Structure 1
Amino acid sequence: MAEPAGPRRIIAFTPQQSAAAARVPTGAATSEPRLLDRVRIAVRTRHYSRRTEKAYVAWTRRFVLFHGKRHPAQLGASEVEAFLSSLATEGQVAASTQNQALAAIVFLYREVLDLELPQLAEVVRAKRPLRLPTVLRRDDVARVLAQMSGTPWLVSLLQYGAGLRLLECLRLRVKDIDFAGHLVRVREGKGNRDRVAILPAVVRDALRVHLAEVKAQHERDLAEGGGFVELPTAIARKFPNAAREWGWQWVFPATRVYRDRESREVRRHHLHETVLQRAVKAAVAAAGLSVRAICHTFRHSLATHLLEDGYDIRTVHELLGHRDVTTTMIDTPVLNRGPSGVRSPADRLEGMLGLGGSGRRGEGERGGASGATWPGEPGELSGLLDNADSRGAEERGNRVWSRNLGREGEWRHVDIQTGTTRRGATNAGLPN
């Protein structure tokens, strides 16, 4: 694509940067491979993920090709603005995609070329649509899970029960599961942040059975000369033998092994996310839901159900590992329960999932919520819930009334002003 017409705004170089830019070859035939290698080295030096490396290299290549293979050091802010604007106007990309391209270009100039970009005021920004996340009702969560089995079922239940992102769940190592403390340790989550999440009781037995099968598979891999997994860079350098240790193995390993190009080790990666995405899509369709639910919907549903159960927003914010909270979240009273003091909503589905005593659903099993019945609420509570919204709750004055889906014959009352929760039998009537 030809260089856009119009006034060109060159980056303000320092004398040292100008001298460095003058040494850059005019043609890109010899400079582009070297430039992309420099981007890779800079990303790896900062211990960014492989996905980040792949994305930054791809955006650098697109930026160079957009301007006729000219070296970025010879381009100015106007060329950067033209490239980013074209993504929105011609490429019709999402705002998140444009932001990723901007981050890659800023990284290229700042960390690779040692140049500082000025304020990019002329960029046409892609519009970010305001969409509310899809949230499933508790019975809908059970209906979807009832259509799943095996590893996809276990991953989805753990996603809902612990509020994990899909890749956070798939990247769990054996040592990250704390059965004694009922906790899951999330390493290098979104934003490269660690956190602790809850390990729901409804998951534990099934997870123990699953890990026993994974360990047997790992022992077979060891016997065949494999059993390696990819390690974080610092760990691999300091403890080279850890790649075959049981604690570093993936909780959800892939079904096939591969040979690493650099080390030539026979490794097993974690399960690919597309396996789960396809399984959830099929389960949602089989459950007959009209909403568009994906793997991440389990996480949104957990957050909503915790708030319905009376947990404060700050506790939910910490469990989910969000970077920031809104002013409303900050003003909410903090209960400081911590992960171990939170009962996961997934535990209320145990009777609906057909787990039995073993905590394991067999391959192809489709029992559980299909035959579940909800307890009846006689009298005033029954009429109230008949008119309730999709979450089974209704606001009356300054109070919210809702049924407790895990306990038959109870009402639950949450006072919005004080944050207190009261429970009682349905035959006693609603509180004043």
Structure 2
Amino acid sequence: MVRMARRPDYPLSTTLTGWVFAFKISVICPNMPNSFKPRPLKNLFTANGCWAGLLETGGLRQIEVESISKMLACGTSILGVKHYTCGNHSCPHVKYLCNTCHCRACPSCGKKATDQWIAVQNNRLPDCSWQHLVFTLPDTLWSLFFYNRGLLDTLFRLAADNLLYAGKRRGLRIGLFGALHTYGRRLNWHPHVHLSATAGGLDEQGVWKNLAFHEKAMRHRWMWNVRNTLLGLWGQLTLPPELAHITHESDWRHLVLNAGGQHWHIYLSKKTENGRKTVNYLGRYLKKPPISGSRLAHYTSGASLSFTYLDHRTQTYQQETVSQADMLRRVVQHIPEKHFRMIRYFGFLANRVCGQYLPKVYEALKMATPGPVPKLYFAQMAKAFLNVDPFRCVLCGADGIHGGDQRADGAGTDPQRSGDRADEVRETLTGGRCVRT
């Protein structure tokens, strides 16, 4: 029997909700509410041709153009298609699943990556007291890190050094992991570092001892290290427009030494019994865009949109209305540079030494050595969320058989990951137009 099926030109995805395309959602998942809108972030970028307009205007970083191009192509035939035939040879059904982008700017791909990261960390982190800390900067220095993004790497290192130094003074090797955030609740530029550290560590004899962090001492060391670093970079940084008046080193020293006075804020949370609370908290933000799809679900392709955020100063919820273009600029500015690691591990959790020290930590805490974490697959997530097996035939119920990968141009099986063809994706999405950067 010849099996024929029209190749889809509608978006499908291999992650969680994206594969449920709009005009069949009621058939595949009848319990899904009518208000459900898949991929609301895509709608924000494509409505009114706003993203195309920003491309024409220029001024975007290369990584911003590349990441958003991949995100918009995610779950469409632009990135290639996997096709599955029914295991029942008498059934003519064929299913197509479009490839995904695996990009950090994509909320759909970020969901799977986030769940996998949370599962791995909750499995391997030692069961001991943990403390979450946040290191912030005065707002007068924020723009320096916007125009000199290489400083974000230094910022991460200085924050971690603060905690490692506290442990070293007690002769302890502690473990910590952290994440760099560049956004505030309003999606404004607000670089700060989240760190979660063990409230104890191993001494030279392999004995676990408790450790307390002192906010005042850490704040002074944090201020000194950041200021000293910035002072040594005079003449090497790109100054933002609002600091264009600084033309002499004396002006630079005055700015750096007086920024924030003596009130640089460091937040120390209460100790927790384990690190799971922090892992679950950070996991919501690490591998996904800075704004969730639920906050964009109300957007109806208008020229402006409103969103609600919690104002930390007044502890009340505020609503802000911005133009569509302004919202896009706020979102893309937080896309990290290529190969920049937003999550880092230090102390006995550092990648180069964790294999040596983690077994000693488990032994000191009388913990069993954890086993490997099973890899998370798309089918598991689809079954859990939709109660539907995406690889089971909708006609006869037989299992699907992978029939190969196919590129959008019909070239057949592609041995190279189609998600890596960034230039081709961008060419397709922009219609071959030159993008000014």
Q: Does TM, scored on the shorter chain, surpass 0.5?
A: no
TM-score by length of 1: 0.25
Choose between structure 1 and 2: higher helix proportion.
1
- If asked which structure has higher relative contact order (CA below 8 Å, sep 6+), I would say 2
TM-score by length of 2: 0.25
Choose between structure 1 and 2: higher strand proportion.
2
